[in-house]
Amino acid sequence: MDEPDNLWVGLGYVQVDGDLKAAFIVDARRYADAGAAREVIRDAGAELRRRGIAGQFEMREIRADQPLPFDLPTWDEYLSQQLDD
């Protein structure tokens, strides 16, 4: 049986005082497929650019049963808690 293609997490980094800092996480396992998770990554990147915030993403593979490796908010939580206009 083939493994699902959404066994990864995307770490979102933003620039804080000149350094990149891990700020949020997109857990692709939470989405119906990898395409939906990639759309969240694209939307997050677009929103950061719109706000003039420098950032980048790092993708890491993760097992289906593995807990999240970082205690970070989701993109939606970060957006509402840290970037709320």
pLDDT digits (tens, 9 = 90+) for 53-78: 999 999 999 999 999 988 999 999 99
Q: Above 90 in pLDDT, residue 2?
A: no
The answer to the question of residue 61 being in a domain is yes
Q: How many domains does the chain have?
A: 1
Rg (CA), the chain: 13
User: What is the widest separation between alpha-carbon atoms in the chain?
Assistant: 47
**For residue 3, is it within any domain?**
no
Residue 38 domain boundaries: 8-82
Q: In what order do the strands lie in the sheet with 55-61?
A: 19-27, 8-16, 55-61
Q: Is residue 1 part of a domain?
A: no
Structure tokens at 35: 């395409």
- Is pTM, for the whole model, over 0.85? yes
Q: Considering the domain boundaries, does residue 37 fall inside one?
A: yes
In a domain, 2, yes or no: no
